[in-house]
Amino acid sequence: MASTSTTSVFTLIVLLAFSLSNCSDNEYASARIESCRGCSLNRLPEVKNFIFQDVPLYDNVEFKPISGAIPELVLLNNNDEEVERIQLSRLNRKECNELLVSKGFTASKPPKDEI
């Protein structure tokens, strides 16, 4: 009888783990770039170009200006809850675009190449 109980508990744990791994809440539904419009952003021309030229081309990605904030990518689930936050200041424009694509976001039009 103990082995039946152990098997049932094991099966329940496996089913729970499987359902959690396939839950849509674990996916990135949208993203938000938070940053000041100037300040530190003026010292990061590659990130600034990414924010103002490339971000508008992506589906489900928006820019939210926050006074004094360092540039960060905020990834959100289907419930609009923050799932992950990534600082962008160490990345160049190409790396910022690659980051969005690696997280599953697509651009309506391809971003312009760096000049």
Residue 61 has pLDDT above 70, yes or no: yes
Domain boundaries, the chain: 25-102
Measured at the alpha carbon of residue 112, what is the angle toward residues 109 and 115, in degrees to the nearest 5? 180
Alpha carbons 3 and 114: distance in angstroms, whole number: 63
- Identify the sign of the CA torsion 29, 113, 63, 39: positive
Alpha carbons 92 and 23: distance in angstroms, whole number: 33
- The pTM for the full model equals 0.72
Residue 97, token pair as written in the block: 């675009």
Q: Which CATH number fits domain 25-102: 3.40.30.50, 3.20.20.70, 3.40.50.970, 1.10.357.10?
A: 3.40.30.50
Higher pLDDT, residue 105 or 113: 105
Mean pLDDT (the chain, rounded): 83
What are the residues facing 87 on neighbouring strands?
72
**In this structure, which amino acid lies at residue 9?**
V
Residue 49's alpha-carbon distances to 38, 77, 90, 103, in angstroms, are 12, 26, 14, 20
Q: What is the pLDDT of residues 2-58, one digit of tens each?
A: 555 655 555 445 444 444 444 444 489 999 999 998 878 999 999 999 999 999 999
